[in-house]
Amino acid sequence: MIRRNTRKINVGNIYIGGDSPITVQSMTNTDTRNAIATVEQIKRLEAAGCDIIRCAVPDMEASETIKDIVKEIRIPLVADIHFDYKLAINSIKNGVSALRINPGNIGSMERVKLVAEHAADAGIPIRIGVNSGSLEKELLQKYGKVCPDALVESALKHVNILEKVNFNDIVISIKSSDVMQMIESYRLISEKVDYPLHIGVTEAGTAWRGTIKSSVGIGALLAQGIGDTIRVSLTDDPIEEIRVGKEILRSLGYINGGVSFVSCPTCGRTQINLIKLAQEIEAKLDKLDKDIKVAVMGCIVNGPGEAREADIGIAGGNGEGLIFKKGEIIKKVKEVDLIDALMEEIEKM
C-alpha cells in the first residue's frame, strides 16, 4: 500500500508523517486539574497501546497541572485549547509535546506569533482542528451549508496564519460526524498540502455505531494512503478507542504482530455455542502478547481447512471440538474443555 508522502514532524519522542508508523491517539475524559485521576487513565491507555494522548486545558489551573502529569507518563501529551493564547503558552512552559489550537480563534497576529514562537522554541507542533460543528459563519454563508470545500477552506485559512509567522510544524485534522463528508474533506486537502493529517470521524457515537462509522471513514482513507495519525471518537471508555484504532490498522496491514483473531459467523451446521466460545476466547487473547493468528470455527467438516492459514484454532462439533495447527488436527476434546485446551496449546507456542 502506497502512503501519501507527508512532512515528518516529532511529537515528543514519536514521529508522525513521512515514513513513520501511523499512530493511534485518544483523549482523556478526566478533569485535567485532577492530576491523579488523569495520570491513572493515561497509564491505562499507555498499556492498551495509545501512542499520543490529548487533555482538555480549559483554564490556567489545568495548564499548571500539566507539569505534574507529564512527569508521570511516558507518551506525548497534547494540550487541547480553545481561544486563550495564554493557556497555550503556559501549557508549553509546563511540558506538553504539542498544541491543538486554531490560530484564527486566538485574536491578533501578535498573539499568534507569540504562541508560534514559544512552540518553535520548545520544538513542538501545532495541530489545527477544523470541525463540521464549528465552521465559521462566513464560510457557512459562502457555501450555504457545511461541505468538504468549506471545511478545507477553513483549515487552509488557519494554516496560512501560521505560515505567515513562519511556523510550519503543523498537523491538520478536518473532522465531521458525516462519514462521506469526512472522507471527501481529507481527500481534498491531501491534494493541496503535504502536512501530516490526523484523521477521524468526530462524535462518531457509542461503541457500536461509533466503531462502524470510524472503521468505514478511517479505513477508507488509510486504504488510499491518506492519514498519518488517527483517533476513534467513541462515547465510551477511551480504552475502547485504542482497541478499535489498533484493530483498524492491523486489518489494513499497518500493524504487524500481536494476536490476530478470526471466527466464522455460524450457520446451520454449527452444533456448539460458538458465539459464547468466540467471545470468551477473544477476551483471553486480548491479554496475550504473542504474534499469532487464532481461528474459532463452528464446523468440524470445513473449519480446519477454511482456517488453514491460522497458526492455531478450534473447530466445534456436537459436544466436542478439534484443535488444529496450520490446518492440521492435533487433538479432539470435549466442548467444555475446548477453551482451556486451546489456551494451553497457545501458551506452548
The structural domains of the chain, with segments of one domain joined by +, span: 9-251, 260-348
Query: Do 9-251 and 260-348 have matching folds?
Result: no
pLDDT at 283: 87
pLDDT exceeds 80 at position 8: yes
Indicate the pLDDT class of residue 347, thresholds 50, 70 and 90. Answer: confident
pTM over 0.85: yes
Amino acid making up residue 64: E
**CATH architecture designation of domain 9-251:** Alpha-Beta Barrel (3.20)
pLDDT exceeds 80 at position 239: yes
Tell me the per-residue pLDDT of 26-56, one tens digit each, with 9 for 90 and over: 999 999 999 999 999 999 999 999 999 999 9
CATH of 260-348, one of 3.30.413.10, 1.20.58.220, 3.40.50.720, 1.10.10.10: 3.30.413.10
Three-state DSSP at 278 gives helix
Lowest mean pLDDT among 57-61, 242-246, 276-280, 305-309: 305-309
Edge-to-edge strand ranges of the sheet holding 328-334: 260-263, 293-297, 312-316, 320-325, 328-334
Amino acid making up residue 120: A
CA count, 13 A, side-chain hemisphere, 325: 10
CA distance 176 to 130: 9
pLDDT exceeds 90 at position 305: no
What is the percent of the chain where pLDDT is above 70? Answer: 97
Average pLDDT over residues 283-296: 84
